[in-house]
Chain A
Amino acid sequence: MRELLRRYRFVFLAAALMLATVALYSYNLRQKTATTFFERAVLTVSAPFLSGVDGLVDYVSDIWGDYIWLVDARRRSLELEEQNVKLQAQLQEVQEVSLQNDRLRKLLAFVDDLDRPALPAQVVGEDASNWARTIIIDKGTQAGLRTGFPVVAAQGVVGRIIKIAPNSSRVLLVTDASSAVAALIQRTRTRSVARGRGDDLSIEYALRDADIQTGDLLVTSGMGGVFPKGLPLGVIESVEKDQFGLFQQVKATPTIDFSLLEEVMVIVGEDR
C-alpha cells in the first residue's frame, strides 16, 4: 500500500488538489454575495496601489496628451514658446476639469431624477481577465456601501456591487456573462431578461409575438429589487425570429460605453 502511494504520489496529489480546488470553487459559487477574507484582504491592500497607479496612469496620459504631442506640434511650428506650452497645458487641465464637471453634473441630475440617495465613486480599475466584465471603484464599506447596491452612470445602468472592502468595491457590469437584469422594452412594455455577452446584451425570454423593433430603448423593469424601475439599459440592435421557437433572438447595445467610464453613482438607499 505504501509502495503504491509512493509510486503514484504525483497522481494522488494532483487528484486531491484538483478535487479540493473544484470543491472550493463550487462552495464559493453558492456564496455569491459573500466576500471572502482573502478577497477582502487583497482588495484592501491593493486599493491604495490601484488609486496610486490610476493617478500615475492619468498623469502619464496627461503628460503624453499635454506635452509629447505639443512637443511634436512645436517641431512643426518653431514659433511656439515655452510659455505657450504651459498655457496650453493649463488650458487642457481646465478643459479636463470642465469636462469632469459636466459629467458629474449630468450624473447628479440623473440621480436627482432617480429620487434616491446616491454616492459618487471613481473607477480605479478593471477586470484582470478578458472574459469577465467587472470594474473596481474607490468606495467601500467605510462609505456605507454593501454588496448588491446598484451602480449607475448618467447614461444608464452600470451594474451592481459583488465584492466589497473598506475602501474599494468590485462591480459586476451588466455586460458580464453572469449578469442578468429584469428588463422591459420602453415603447411596448414587453418584459424580458437582459443577459450580458461581453460587449452587448442578449435579450432573453422575449415572446415571439412581442413587438420589438431595432432602436427601441431597453430599460430596467424594477423586478428583482436590485435596480430601480425605468433606468436605461441599452438600445435594441437586432431582432431575429426563427421559423419555430417560442422566443425571439434579440440583441441590444448598452447605453454606456464601459471603456470610457470614469465616474459612477452608487445608489445607497430606498425610494424617498
Chain B
Amino acid sequence: MKGFLLFLLAGIAFALLQSNVLPVFLSPNWRPNLILILVLYLGLSESLFRALTAGLLLGAIQDSFCGPNLGLYISVYLTIIFVTRLLCEQLNAESPPLLLLLIAGGTLLQNFLVGFYLTILADDSPVLHILLPAIPQQLLSNLLFATIMLLLLLRFQRLFGYRSGLAGLIYQSKHHGT
C-alpha cells in the first residue's frame, strides 16, 4: 500500500512538473513524459493488479492535465502495461539496457496509440502533424530522463528499503518468478 501511494504521489508530482516546471525550460517536443516512464516501471516491477490499478489512476491524472478528453491516457497506459507484462515474461527483465529499450518502445507505442485514438475515434487527424515530427525528440528526452531517474533511483533505493536490484527488477522477479 505504501509503495502504491508512493507511485501515485510520484505521478501527481510528475504531472505538476510536466505542466508547470518543464514548460519554463523546454519546448513541447523536448518535454519528457515522466508518467510514461513511471507506468513502464510499474508494468515491470509491480503485480498485475497493482500495476493496472495504478496505471488506471495515473492515466486519469495525465488525462486531467492534458488534452480535452478523459479516457485517452487511461486506455493507452493500460495497453502499455499489458504489453510490458507480456514482454517481460519473455525477456530478461533485469538488464538495465533492456529497461531503456522498453522505454524507447513504450514511447513509440504511446505515440502510436495516441495518434490512433485521436485520428480514428476523435477525428483529430491534424494531430499527426504534431505527433510524428516530435517522435525523435520525445525518444531522446524520455531516454535521457529515464537514465537520470534510474541513476537517482539506484542511488536512493536503499532509502526505500526492500529493493536491492536495478530499478526494482529483482523485486519483480521475486514476485513473478521471471
Report which A residues bind B (CB closer than 8 A): 10, 14, 17-18, 21-22, 24-29, 32, 36, 38-39, 42-43, 46, 49-50, 53-54, 57, 61, 124-134, 136, 162-163, 170, 172, 176-178, 195-198, 202, 259
B98 part of interface (Cβ distance < 8 Å): no
Tell me the bound Cα distance from A61 to B50 in angstroms. 39
Distance from A30 Cβ to chain B, minimum over Cβ atoms (Å): 10
A-B contact pairs, 27 of them (CB 8 A): A17-B52, A18-B78, A21-B71, A21-B74, A25-B69, A25-B70, A25-B117, A26-B121, A42-B65, A43-B64, A46-B16, A50-B16, A53-B16, A54-B20, A57-B21, A61-B24, A125-B65, A128-B35, A129-B62, A130-B28, A130-B31, A131-B67, A132-B67, A134-B66, A134-B67, A136-B19, A163-B68
B173 part of interface (Cβ distance < 8 Å): no
> Do the beta carbons of B70 and A18 come within 8 Å of each other?
no
> Do the beta carbons of B16 and A131 come within 8 Å of each other?
no
> Do the beta carbons of A29 and B121 come within 8 Å of each other?
yes
B33 part of interface (Cβ distance < 8 Å): yes
Tell me the bound Cα distance from A53 to B15 in angstroms. 12
Instruction: Encode B124-149 as 1/0 by CB contact (under 8 A) with A.
Output: 11110111001000100000000000
Distance from B25 Cβ to chain A, minimum over Cβ atoms (Å): 9
> Do the beta carbons of B126 and A131 come within 8 Å of each other?
no
Chain B residues, Cβ within 8 Å of A172: 68
Chain A residues, Cβ within 8 Å of B12: 46
Chain B residue with the shortest CB-CB distance to A172: B68
Whether A177 touches B78, Cβ cut-off 8 Å, given contacts A46-B16, A136-B19, is: no
Chain B residues, Cβ within 8 Å of A36: 70
Chain B residues, Cβ within 8 Å of A32: 68-69
Tell me the bound Cα distance from A202 to B117 in angstroms. 21
> Do the beta carbons of B65 and A127 come within 8 Å of each other?
yes
Tell me the bound Cα distance from A50 to B23 in angstroms. 13
Whether A127 touches B67, Cβ cut-off 8 Å, given contacts A18-B75, A22-B121, A177-B118, is: yes
> Do the beta carbons of A42 and B66 come within 8 Å of each other?
no
Tell me the bound Cα distance from A179 to B33 in angstroms. 23
Chain B residues, Cβ within 8 Å of A49: 16
Q: Specify which of A38, A39, A131, A176 lies most central, judged by the most chain B CB atoms within 10 Å of its CB.
A: A131
Tell me the bound Cα distance from A127 to B176 in angstroms. 36
